[in-house]
C-alpha cells in the first residue's frame, strides 16, 4: 500500500516535526515526510529537516500583502508536492476558513493542553493559575475555530508543586513527542491519497 505524502508546517524549533520525521523514516509508517514548510525564514526546524533529508522551505508570511495571498502560496506548494496530509507542528499562524475547508479532514495539529481546556496561547501558565492537578497535550483535526477540532488522542501529565510554565512545558513536551507520531498514524488510517480521490 502506498504511503501518504506528509507535509509538516512549522514556525520555529521543530522538535515535534523531528519526531514525525523520525517515525516516518520507518517504511512501515503510513506517511512519508515529503515537505516541511515554515512561515518564518529563520525557523530552526528548517535546517533540522534538511539534515534528515527532507525538503524544507520557507514561505515567509511577512512578505505577502495579506493572509489570503500567503495561504494561496502555501496551498500551491502543497499541491505541487502532491501532499495528502498536513501536520501542524508549532505553526503559529491562524488559518482562514478557505484554507481549512480546502484541506478539511487532511490536517491535524498538536496543542499543549487537554482540549477543550485552554485553546490558544499560554496554556501551561493558565493550567497552573487554575490550580489544575493535571495538564497535557492533544492532537486534533483542524477546524475553523482555533484549537476546536475533534480530538484524535491526548496524553496527560501531572502538575507538580512548584511547577513554572517552563517546567510544565518541558514535561508536556516529552509526552507531545510520544503522542504526535502515534496520533498521526491514527489519522492516516482515516484518509485516502488525494491523487486517488
Q: Which residues are catalytic?
A: 111
Q: How far is the CB of 45 from ligand GRF (least distance, A)?
A: 6
- Distance of alpha carbon 145 from alpha carbon 127, whole angstroms: 21
Q: Angle at CA 189, nearest 5°, toward 2 and 57?
A: 65
Q: Which residue is nearest to ligand GRF (CB)?
A: 90
Q: For strands 134-141 and 107-111, give the pairing.
A: antiparallel
Picking from 87, 107, 120, the residue whose alpha carbon sits closest to that of residue 16 is: 87
- 37 in Cβ contact with 54 (< 8 Å): no
Q: How far is the CB of 151 from ligand GRF (least distance, A)?
A: 14
Q: How far is the CB of 59 from ligand GRF (least distance, A)?
A: 17
Considering the complex, state which of residue 173 and residue 191 has its C-beta at the smaller distance from ligand GRF.
173
Considering the complex, state which of residue 34 and residue 172 has its C-beta at the smaller distance from ligand GRF.
172
166 exposure class (CB count in 10 Å sphere: 0-12, 13-18, 19+):
exposed
**Residues lying near ligand GRF in the complex (CB under 6 A):** 10, 12-17, 89-90, 110-112, 137, 173, 176
- Distance of alpha carbon 32 from alpha carbon 49, whole angstroms: 13
Considering the complex, state which of residue 90 and residue 181 has its C-beta at the smaller distance from ligand GRF.
90
Considering the complex, state which of residue 22 and residue 193 has its C-beta at the smaller distance from ligand GRF.
22
- Distance of alpha carbon 8 from alpha carbon 87, whole angstroms: 5
Q: How far is the CB of 49 from ligand GRF (least distance, A)?
A: 12
- Distance of alpha carbon 71 from alpha carbon 157, whole angstroms: 35
Amino acid at each position: 500500500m502506498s504511503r501518504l505524502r506528509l507535509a509538516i508546517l512549522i514556525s520555529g524549533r521543530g522538535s515535534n516535526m523531528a519526531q514525525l520525521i523520525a517515525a516516518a523514516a520507518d517504511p512501515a509508517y503510513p506517511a512519508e515526510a515529503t515537505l516541511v514548510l515554515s512561515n518564518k525564514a529563520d525557523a530552526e526546524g528548517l535546517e533540522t529537516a534538511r539534515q534528515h533529508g527532507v525538503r524544507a522551505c520557507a514561505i515567509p508570511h511577512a512578505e505577502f500583502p495579506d493572509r489570503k495571498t500567503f495561504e494561496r502560496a502555501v496551498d500551491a506548494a502543497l499541491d505541487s508536492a502532491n501532499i495528502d496530509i498536513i501536520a501542524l507542528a508549532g505553526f503559529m499562524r491562524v488559518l482562514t476558513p478557505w484554507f481549512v475547508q480546502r484541506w478539511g479532514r487532511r490536517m491535524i495539529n498538536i496543542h499543549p493542553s487537554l482540549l477543550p481546556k485552554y485553546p490558544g496561547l499560554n496554556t501551561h501558565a493558565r493550567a497552573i493559575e487554575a490550580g489544575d492537578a493535571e495538564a497535557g497535550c492533544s492532537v486534533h483535526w483542524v477546524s475553523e475555530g482555533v484549537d476546536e477540532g475533534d480530538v484524535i488522542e491526548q496524553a496527560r501529565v501531572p502538575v507538580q508543586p512548584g511547577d513554572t510554565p517552563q517546567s510544565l512545558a518541558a514535561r508536556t513536551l516529552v509526552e507531545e513527542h510520544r503522542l504526535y507520531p502515534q496520533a498521526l498514524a491514527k489519522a492516516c488510517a482515516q484518509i485516502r491519497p488525494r491523487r486517488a480521490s
